[in-house]
Amino acid sequence: NAGVTQTPKFQVLKTGQSMTLQCAQDMNHNSMYWYRQDPGMGLRLIYYSASEGTTDKGEVPNGYNVSRLNKREFSLRLESAAPSQTSVYFCASTQEVSNQETQYFGPGTRLLVL
Amino acid sequence: QKEVEQDPGPLSVPEGAIVSLNCTYSNSAFQYFMWYRQYSRKGPELLMYTYSSGNKEDGRFTAQVDKSSKYISLFIRDSQPSDSATYLCAMRYSGGYQKVTFGIGTKLQVIP
Within an 8 Å CB–CB cutoff, is residue A98 touching chain B? no
Within an 8 Å CB–CB cutoff, is residue B18 touching chain A? no
Which of A59, A101, A111 has the highest number of chain B CBs within 10 A, making it the mutation to test binding with B?
A: A101
Mean pLDDT value across residues B103-107: 96
Residue A99 has pLDDT above 70, yes or no: no
Mean pLDDT value across residues A44-56: 92
What pLDDT does B105 receive?
96
Contact B43 A45 (CB under 8 A): no
- Which among B92, B98, B102 has the least Cβ separation from residue A48? B98
The proportion of chain B whose per-residue pLDDT surpasses 90, expressed as a percent, equals 78
DSSP B22-72: EEEE--TTEEEEEEEEE-TTS--EEEEEEESSEEEEETTEEEEEETTTTEE
Contact A42 B104 (CB under 8 A): yes
Decide: helix, strand or coil at residue B82. helix
Confidence category of residue A40, pLDDT binned at 50, 70, 90: confident
Within an 8 Å CB–CB cutoff, is residue B39 touching chain A? no
DSSP state, B109? E
Cβ neighbour number for residue A41 with a 10 Å cutoff: 13
Average per-residue pLDDT for chain B: 93
| Tens of pLDDT, residues A60-72 | 999 999 999 899 9
* Residue numbers in B near A48 (CB within 8 A): 98
Within an 8 Å CB–CB cutoff, is residue B71 touching chain A? no
A window 53-82, beta carbon within 8 A of B = 56, 58
Distance CA B109, CA B86 (A): 9
Work out the end-to-end distance of chain B between its first and last CA atoms, rounded to an integer number of angstroms. 37
Mean pLDDT value across residues B2-28: 94
Cβ neighbour number for residue A114 with a 10 Å cutoff: 10
Confidence category of residue B93, pLDDT binned at 50, 70, 90: confident
What pLDDT does A36 receive?
97
Confidence category of residue B14, pLDDT binned at 50, 70, 90: very high
What pLDDT does A1 receive?
66
Can you give A41-89 as a three-state secondary structure string? CEEEEEEEECCCCCCEECCCCCCEEEEECCCCEEEEEECCCCHHHCEEE
